[in-house]
Amino acid sequence: MKLIRVGVDLAKHVFQLHGVDRSEKTVWRRKLVRGDWIKALLDRIEPDCEIGMEACSGAHNWARLLQAKGFTVKLIAPQFVKPYVKSNKNDANDADAICEAMSRPSMRFVAIKTVEQQDIQAVHRVR
């Protein structure tokens, strides 16, 4: 099955991935450790697949890495993902909700920040 969207729930050590095909059917759910998730993702998906994550400082870093490899990455603010969590809050359900939120035509996405932009933001927060 060819994946069109993958939702990724980032964590410290274990990442959850949730992928859907063209018929919006879940065809890929994986729980991967930090060191293996990029390799597994690159082995499974093609460059026309969209990858979504909740926006956080680490997500911008992963997004830059994936964009350098030719993928389309979309970051969503956490408050816009929360309404799409179907049941109990856990990492797997969060990845599913991210994937679902990406499919909405009216969804607003966060721009991916450069390293310099994140540095400036860190300086402002320290003040």
Domains in the chain (CATH in brackets) are 3-126 (3.30.420.140)
pLDDT tens profile 7-29 = 999 988 999 999 999 999 999 99
Q: Phi first, then psi: what are they for 94, rounded to 5°? A: -65, -40
**If you average pLDDT over residues 63-86, what whole number do you get?**
93
- C-alpha to C-alpha distance for 123 and 46, rounded to whole angstroms: 37
pTM, whole model, 2 decimals? 0.89
pLDDT of residue 21: 93
3-state class (DSSP) for residue 19: strand
